[in-house]
Amino acid sequence: MFKLDQGAIGHHSNVVFQQANPLEIRLSEPRLLLADDDKQLLNLVTDWLEYQKFNIVTARYGTQCQEFLLTTKYDLLILDWQMPELTGLEICRWFRARGGTTPVLMVSGKMGIDDKEHAFAAGIDDYLTKPFELRELTMRINALLRRTGAANSRILQIGPLTLDPDTHIAKVDGNQLNLTATEFAVLEYMGRHPNQVFSTRTLLDRVWKNATDVSPDTVRVYIKRLREKLHTLGHRDLLQNIHGVGYKFDTPEDCVIKLG
């Protein structure tokens, strides 16, 4: 777990992070883009937010942040004001001008009311001054996600399969599957990427928090278990083994897919 000393982030407080169980898995966390040119601060905040079950993508330069926004949709943007090449304020203006509606949390050492006024005029949704407490950052993130419904729209429906990450309930044709947390995570990840083939190594990297402590055989075991459980409900072929390549969640072209 995290242990914080006295002091706030932005002054680089000492933070001790105890590595989670190597079999801890990634569910469908809200995806956040975190941009800050301070590498130490960026790594510190990333560790904290991943511990809080957020999916974090990081950028250290304004142009890099811009490139990510051109190709990927995020649930929340956390932008440092002062970054090389493009400032967080310039990125926000550019993003809003393109029609971007994702909530933006500006982080800055600027404390003046005029600075805050400029930031809100540029289209930000919240403003957090440095130094800040990590817990306050989490509270503000959760508040912004609640406004957009991103924290409550995670149910996956794909053909006969329905997955609810909040309750860990999986159903096939309305019949409940009894899955472990890791089985659920594997099935959810593959279900959110239908018809895409994943190698065992890719699944280890994407689903398990610490892939160095588990082997490709681990993936094979979980896929086998999932196929056996799906078979009991008549849908073993939802998960297919592509010989010599990997595994995929198979769906027909006319399959109805609803991603939360």
Q: Helix, strand, or coil here: 73? A: coil
Distance CA 106, CA 38 (A): 15
Domain coordinates of the chain in residue numbers? 2-152, 156-259
Q: Work out the burial of residue 114: count CB atoms within 10 Å of its CB; fewer than 13 is exposed, 13-18 middle, 19 or more buried.
A: exposed
* Protein fold of 156-259: Arc Repressor Mutant, subunit A (1.10.10)
Closest CA to 224 of 244, 200, 202, 205: 200
Token pair in block for residue 22: 């190597």
Spatial CB neighbours of 194, under 8 Å, sequence gap ≥ 6: 158, 248, 249, 250, 251, 255, 257
Q: CATH number of the domain at 2-152, please?
A: 3.40.50.2300
Token pair in block for residue 24: 């801890």
Spatial CB neighbours of 132, under 8 Å, sequence gap ≥ 6: 8, 9, 10, 107
**Do the domains 156-259 and 2-152 match in fold?**
no
User: Residue 254: what are its φ and ψ, rounded to 5°?
Assistant: -95, 15
Dihedral sign for Cα 179, 181, 182, 185, please. Answer: positive
Number of Cβ within a 10 Å radius of residue 45: 23
**Cα distance between the two ends of the chain:** 29
Tell me the H-state helices in the chain: 39-51, 62-71, 88-97, 113-122, 134-148, 181-191, 200-207, 216-231
Distance CA 148, CA 151 (A): 8
DSSP state, 20?
P
Distance CA 14, CA 1 (A): 13
Q: Is pTM, for the whole model, over 0.85?
A: no
Query: What does the pLDDT profile of the chain (260 residues) look like in tens digits?
Result: 333 433 455 554 444 443 333 333 334 568 899 999 898 999 999 999 888 878 888 999 989 999 989 888 889 999 999 998 899 999 999 999 999 999 999 999 988 999 999 999 999 999 999 989 999 999 999 899 888 765 545 677 888 888 887 678 899 998 999 999 889 989 988 887 888 899 998 888 888 866 567 888 999 999 999 999 999 998 888 899 998 899 999 886 555 455 55
